């Protein structure tokens, strides 16, 4: 089972090669053996998973199975899951048992998938390394001294280590694509509004978007067929039909026009990462694509704009954690103000506190127009850059991160950490889709090729990624730890 993708596992279940219970037990055993080294899971729901597996086997025997019936998955611990702890990687929610399922979880359950548990993450999705978790840092399966990326680092590490064939993540500024790149897997950030945010614990409401993380673009396409679509419970969900994302996977790339943003190949880009990306672009040329340089002139404003907008929204979203209704509550408060102060001081970690303070400052009287309003104007310019570029090319390509995974503890100041997201943040500000696919190694650590498309072009991105994966085998390579615990 070790070398099978989600798509291959689905075919094996259909043919009767093994049962869903056998498959689920296999992955639960792998988690038990290997995850102490990686720390990719916060909660493992073994009993629930085995019960779901038995139900899946009965459904298959009765002829009621769908493509993904009986397939084990993992959920980033930001998705509310009924009767399961949903912590968001924070002490604040360490005692929170969700009373309902997020829409994504509902859809996956309806498709017959099996949740093995909740994966580790940067607290409230704030981070680029998965070191900001109340439950400890996640390790990169390719090198246990390196970070897996964040905030969906637990999901990425679990897939890369072979502990689960696929997982769900969320992406606010690159939190699917960057850890996918660092861990050598495939991760898709859909168009904003394509996947419901209902039941996803909010960080920045105008930027957050859920998406699949798996070994291949084909796997991600099958998952998108399940999770995409309109949801009346989410006011930001787009009422638009959902295509079959697998239908065009094998479409030829002859005539594809690729744009290389010159701003993505400048100072700060690791030479080995650049070589891997340009080698990948050469593969596309051999498949019939044409390549030209384009410009996204407002790229260098993306990080400052993001770190005004996102903390502003976070300060508002996280105000609900006050020690009164749910979550962490301090002991023996003197009065209401003391309850608020100590509950929040004890419940939130350093990075979350930093972003709440930044956001509260930028939204305060006298600073709102100077910071927040201007940042939103810059956001509009960044979005227009992408729209202008897509008038001349079909997709954009570049690195997902300026470097491969860095060492644990290497980025000690916030600014150097924030700069890791330079190639991903603008995508969220513009609301367009992006995917990261494995494209080689730099210093023995994986490199991700980022492919971007215009709004609702997920099918095209999956096609472009899949054709590359048909011509290369980077996505099939596994770290040693995956083979040790096969």
Active site residue ranges: 76, 151, 175
Measured CA to CA, the distance from residue 308 to residue 381 in angstroms comes to 15
In angstroms, rounded to a whole number, what is the distance separating the alpha carbons of residues 433 and 428? Answer: 8
**Would you state the structure tokens that stand for residue 406, as one six-digit string?**
């860095």
Place of tokens 């002490």: 91
DSSP type of residue 176: T
Residue 156 and residue 213 in contact, taking contact as beta carbons nearer than 8 Å: yes
User: Of 415, 433, 479, nearest to 211 (Cα)?
Assistant: 433
**Rounded CA separation 482/485 (Å):** 6
Phi, psi of 291 (to 5 degrees): -125, 140
Residue 118 near residue 77, CB atoms below 8 Å: yes
Helix and strand element counts for the chain (H, E): 16, 11
Neighbouring C-beta atoms of residue 148, cutoff 10 Å: 34
Burial per residue of 46-72, b for 16 or more beta-carbon CB atoms within 10 angstroms, e otherwise: bebbbebbbbbbebbeeeebbbbbbbb
CA dihedral sign, ordered 366, 368, 371, 377: negative
User: Strand, coil or helix: what is 441?
Assistant: strand
């Amino acid at each position: 089972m070790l070398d099978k993708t989600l798509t291959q596992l689905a075919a094996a279940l259909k043919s009767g090669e093994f049962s869903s219970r056998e498959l689920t037990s296999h992955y639960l055993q792998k988690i038990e053996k290997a995850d102490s080294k990686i720390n990719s899971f916060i909660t493992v729901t073994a009993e629930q998973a085995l019960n779901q597996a038995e139900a899946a086997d009965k459904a298959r025997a009765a002829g009621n199975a769908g493509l993904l019936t009986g397939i084990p998955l993992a959920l980033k611990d930001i998705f509310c899951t009924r009767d399961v702890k949903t912590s968001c990687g924070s002490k604040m929610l360490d005692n929170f048992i969700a009373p309902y399922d997020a829409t994504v979880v509902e859809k996956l359950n309806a498709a017959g998938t099996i949740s093995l548990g909740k994966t580790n993450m940067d607290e409230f999705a704030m981070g680029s390394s998965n070191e900001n978790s109340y439950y400890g840092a996640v390790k990169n399966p390719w090198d246990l001294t390196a970070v897996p990326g964040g905030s969906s680092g637990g999901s990425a590490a679990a897939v890369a280590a072979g502990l689960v064939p696929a997982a769900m993540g969320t992406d606010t500024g690159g939190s699917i694509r960057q850890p996918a790149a660092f861990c050598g897997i495939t991760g898709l950030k859909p168009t904003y509004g394509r996947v419901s945010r209902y039941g996803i614990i909010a960080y920045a409401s105008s930027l957050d978007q859920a998406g699949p993380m798996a070994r291949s673009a084909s796997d991600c396409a099958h998952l998108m067929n399940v999770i995409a679509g309109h949801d009346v419970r989410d006011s930001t969900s787009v009422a638009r039909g959902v295509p079959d994302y697998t239908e065009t996977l094998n479409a030829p790339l002859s005539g594809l026009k690729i744009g290389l943003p010159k701003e993505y190949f400048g100072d700060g880009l690791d030479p080995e990462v650049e070589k891997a990306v340009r080698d990948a672009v050469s593969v596309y040329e051999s498949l019939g694509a044409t390549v030209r340089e384009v410009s996204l002139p407002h790229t260098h404003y993306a990080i400052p704009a993001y770190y005004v907008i996102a903390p502003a929204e976070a300060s508002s979203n996280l105000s609900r954690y006050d020690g009164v209704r749910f979550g962490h509550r301090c002991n023996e408060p003197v009065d209401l103000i003391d309850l608020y102060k100590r509950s929040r001081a004890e419940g939130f970690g350093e990075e979350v506190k930093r972003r709440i303070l930044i956001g509260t400052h930028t939204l305060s009287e006298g600073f709102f127009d100077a910071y927040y309003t201007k940042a939103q104007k810059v956001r509009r310019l960044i979005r227009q850059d992408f729209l202008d570029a897509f008038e001349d090319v079909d997709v954009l390509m570049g690195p997902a991160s300026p470097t491969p995974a860095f060492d644990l503890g290497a980025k000690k100041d916030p600014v150097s950490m924030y700069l890791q997201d330079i190639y991903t943040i603008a995508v969220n500000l513009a609301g367009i889709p992006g995917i990261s696919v494995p494209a080689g190694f730099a210093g023995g650590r994986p490199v991700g090729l980022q492919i971007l498309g215009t709004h609702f072009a997920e099918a095209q991105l999956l096609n472009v990624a899949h054709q590359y994966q048909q011509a290369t085998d980077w996505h099939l390579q596994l770290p040693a730890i995956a083979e040790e615990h096969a």
